[in-house]
Structure 1
């Protein structure tokens, strides 16, 4: 996929002079979308890009991008404003967890029973969440003023033609974009970035920490309610397999009538648990560094899932206050995953740096 956001402008013959180039909102949103796509792609020698195929590798590049955005080491970052993109820090741990889940022997074994339902659902959700949320942050970093002017105009149907054509070739595009309203602005995103403006203008304080948590939850409500719920959890097949993994035979009999206790129990044994570790490693033996979902959590139900996510957010926030250097050290490690290799490495292409 070649870069379709090149802007042409007339220049002059005066040395060391500058020419202003004015981009409209669709062009700027097209550039933001291209950033997301190229981050999950390798650049070929001819200037085109190839989206990498390996889902866990995509998840690690996504985690790296989130970590870099929080640390303000990403394109257009502002180190003096570190901490304004608070959701991104937790998002890095979450995407790492998705990658780890996709890599587990349990999920690979479960695919023998489930087919690709859970794997594809996780891959789809993580991919399109990244396409949504990373672009908002990249655009804001480029120009908060332009962001304010253009936030309401984001719509994949209005991108410049080459980028619009490219988006239509992305995985799961046909069934994903209508469900998530073609990436248009949502109230939770407006709330989250209104809080970003307050956070970046404040010195470190308990008041700033409170706003950071509010920002995190606004963005969490968006990514869970507007993106992931609509993309995967509302899908009957995906939700059914999530129930299977809980081994709740009574619930399954009430809703479907054809699952057996033995089958559900077997699926639960060979399925990954619901937990997140606040480390760059997939798991940790230190209880304080991870959060496991309560047994009664119904992952496919938004309200039930958000109760757990609020618990995760509170624990994350506490650790960011008490052990900030340690947490940011883990994020710095994940930031180094930006060029994670695909399952196949071709000699005529290179990963992001």
Structure 2
């Protein structure tokens, strides 16, 4: 069992081992190099989206992006409750509570993409049949399946890597910055906040981050597997033999029969060649009526992602987890919160903390990670257009639901992006763009205000919903 050893001889857990030192800061904590402590914090994030296998006791990443999202939502909710408990009420992380609701909504976005688009079939004819498909191709040169796959993959990428950045910053503060008596170790916080550097992690921690989905090594493996995929090759062969006689339908019937065989073959065999490189994961393809067509769009989108060298370079920069002014300001706001006793003063610091981390989240991470992708922006803008014109019937609105459930009829418990102020504007008014940083930060500001209002006026309800999100995610 591999292990790394701190300067004082104590073992510190690395991903893939179970030799956790439960009292890492019990003694000689001044001798532990910052790189080792940051490795520990990063490993905690990795373990949060991994499963420990009984046979070898190693942790392996949960392959299903939807299950990972449920776990991430639970981890964020946990930070909210655990920070208050450990600090004895002097500090309570605020942004993670909002993030738990947002990531819960990402889980619903995954479900919509699968059940209401990628499934195809008669129940989704209004989105995926010939007419809407032709409209989609005319407007964007992409099919409804392509748009759904593009969003699904972007959500999987953005959600995972944002968590890998944000969670260790806050977990470090919780685990190593709050003493057991509830006071803060401000000297350590001020010193270590500038010393997180993924290139200095322990070898196994560093390797675990480098091998995560959408990094260069993972992309290389995925593309190699995709090129050799025997399931796709066999399914494609159903289209290779033209009919001996086209018939009155010009061969359409023969093509439909071949497609039906290809779809059935993919559904029956995709699991035999998956190993975590399909999105969604193969067990979720069983209900896809046109599985071969979905696979074609998946292959195109993942190839496009693989060939976007600029995006890969941006991810590599993010994956070094550099200290930003926003992170330093967050630490100072949390320290300041611990020093005030007035509930109003604490609430003001919490709202400031939420706003500052939102800038880190949206502008420093998600903008370069996914929103700078012009094709994704095209898809999201078109989705917003149809959602607004159909009042959410054709596709879902961009919104945050302040509930553990996927939907609510209570308008007080949701914040909708760019709602029209009149029927005329619903169809003809200017529309904002969620990938646009200015439009998105305006929306984030409204989310922050709505969330803060609910936390002030309905905290018992909000915390009850957060406990549900935490419980469901821990069991995902």
- TM-score for both structures, normalised by structure 2: 0.62
CA distance in 2, matches of 1:210, 1:9: 41
Task: Give the corresponding residue for 2:175.
Answer: 142
| CA apart distance, 1:47 | 1.5
CA distance in 2, matches of 1:3, 1:265: 57
Equivalent positions of 1:3-18 (< 5 A) are 7=6, 9-10=8-9
Task: Give the corresponding residue for 1:128.
Answer: 161
Are the counterparts in 2 of residues 36 and 135 from structure 1 also a CA contact under 8 Å?
yes
Task: Give the corresponding residue for 1:211.
Answer: 349
Are the counterparts in 1 of residues 404 and 465 from structure 2 also a CA contact under 8 Å?
yes
Identify the match of residue 64 of structure 2 among 54, 78, 91: 54
Give CA-to-partner distance per residue, 1:261-280, whole Å, 9 cap, x none: xxx989x8643310111111
| CA apart distance, 1:287 | 1.1
- TM-score for both structures, normalised by structure 1: 0.82
| CA apart distance, 1:244 | 2.2
Identify the match of residue 152 of structure 2 among 116, 119, 126: 119
Task: Give the corresponding residue for 2:359.
Answer: 221
CA distance in 2, matches of 1:325, 1:246: 33
Are the counterparts in 2 of residues 151 and 185 from structure 1 also a CA contact under 8 Å?
yes
Identify the match of residue 304 of structure 1 among 429, 439, 445: 439
The RMSD of aligned alpha carbons is 2.6
Task: Give the corresponding residue for 2:322.
Answer: 184
CA distance in 1, matches of 2:94, 2:188: 21
Task: Give the corresponding residue for 1:331.
Answer: 466
CA distance in 2, matches of 1:231, 1:196: 27
Structure 2 gap segments, 5+ residues each: 11-25, 120-127, 129-143, 178-186, 217-311, 420-430
CA distance in 2, matches of 1:39, 1:334: 15
| CA apart distance, 1:60 | 1.1
| Structure 2 counterpart SS, 1:50 | strand
Corresponding position: 1:95 with 2:230: no
Higher relative contact order (CA 8 A, sep 6+): 1
Task: Give the corresponding residue for 1:84.
Answer: 92
Alignment: residue pair count: 316
CA distance in 1, matches of 2:405, 2:148: 27
Task: Give the corresponding residue for 2:385.
Answer: 247
CA distance in 1, matches of 2:43, 2:109: 27
CA distance in 2, matches of 1:209, 1:83: 10
Larger Rg, first or second structure (1 or 2): 2
Moved more, 55-64 or 176-185: 176-185
Corresponding position: 1:156 with 2:198: yes
Task: Give the corresponding residue for 1:34.
Answer: 43
Equivalent positions of 1:308-319 (< 5 A) are 308-319=443-454
